[in-house]
Structures are given as structure tokens and as C-alpha cells.
Amino acid sequence: MLRRVLFVSTLMLAGAFGFVNSAKADTTEKVIFTGGVTASCDVEVPTTATNTTTGTLIANAAKSELTTSTPAYVNVKCAGGSLSISDPLKTAGATDTTAKAVLTINSKTVASPAAPAGDGPKSLPLTAADTGDASINMTATVAAPATELAPDTYTYEVTVTATPGS
């Protein structure tokens, strides 16, 4: 019986030290923070009061073409990204036309998909210097040869897209 008491006492004593040691053990845990800075591009209202987002078109003498008499403007903030523009979309006007647009920023141009290759690239890489007001000019030509533009008000929309770089 004494043996049994000594055996149980030894077990209890060993168990107590075992728990004490594990309770006092130092533990560490690492936490990780991640984050990044994403590139951003903005196309906004022009910064100069005389530059507006609405341009003006004028018909040629033969009434076969509308061309820009006053360009429209947007403010571009997109260093390291690229810029593209859509073909003009006619939203008002009686005669069917085909249209093209060209955007110019800091003497660099980007042309809409329908514009000939000589008008400029379809996408324009931008540098830090390529920010500020960009002018947009367009031309709309009657779709059917030897046809005049019918008297009407013609309205077109051009979408300017600035895409952040990677």
C-alpha cells in the first residue's frame, strides 16, 4: 500500500511539473500584412475654363462632311497607362454617316478604330508628362456616295478610355 501511495504521489508530482512547464513555455505567432498601390487613370472635365467637353461640327460646302470647328476636351491623368477612343456614335441626325475621331495630348495622337492608320495609333502609351487637357476632333462623312447631309442637328458621342499600366 505504501508502494501504491508513493507511486500515485510520484505520478501526481510528475504531472504537476509537466503542466507547469507547458504553461510557462513561450509561444510566438507571426501576422502578415499585405497591401499595394494600384495604378489609377482618370478622364475628367477639362481643367481650363475655355476647354469644354462639348465640341462643334460644321458642314463643308458640298454638305457631304461634318468636321470639327471647335474641339471637345477632357482632362487626362494616367501616367504609365494607355489611352484609346471609340469611333463617334451618332445619337442624332437624319443622314447615315461614317465617323472617325482623333485625340491629341502633348502633340501625341490616338485615333478611333475607323480612322486610317495615318491618323495615329489605336492605343497611346502615356508617360508622366502626358497629363492635362486633351483635345478631340472628329469627322463624319455621308455613308452613301453623292449624297448630301439632310438639314438636321447631328450629335455624336466619343468615349475616351484611360487604362492603368501594370
The domain segmentation of the chain, as residue ranges, is 43-161
% of the chain with per-residue pLDDT over 90: 52
Q: Is the pLDDT of residue 35 over 90?
A: no
- Length of the chain in residues, anyone? 166
% of the chain with per-residue pLDDT over 70: 83
Q: How confident is the model at residue 146 (pLDDT cuts 50, 70, 90)?
A: confident
| Model pLDDT for residues 57-74, shown as the tens digit of each residue | 999 999 999 999 999 999
Looking at residue 14, its amino acid is A
What average pLDDT does the structure give for the chain? 85
Of 70, 69, 66, give the one whose Cα is nearest residue 50: 70
The pLDDT score that the predictor gives to residue 38 is 62
User: Mean pLDDT lowest for which of 18-27, 48-57, 70-79, 109-118?
Assistant: 18-27
Cell 484609346 -> residue: 84
pLDDT, greater one: 142 or 40:
142
Of 138, 98, 130, 102, give the one whose Cα is nearest residue 117: 102
Looking at residue 150, its amino acid is A
- State how far the Cα of 58 lies from the Cα of 15, in Å rounded to an integer: 97
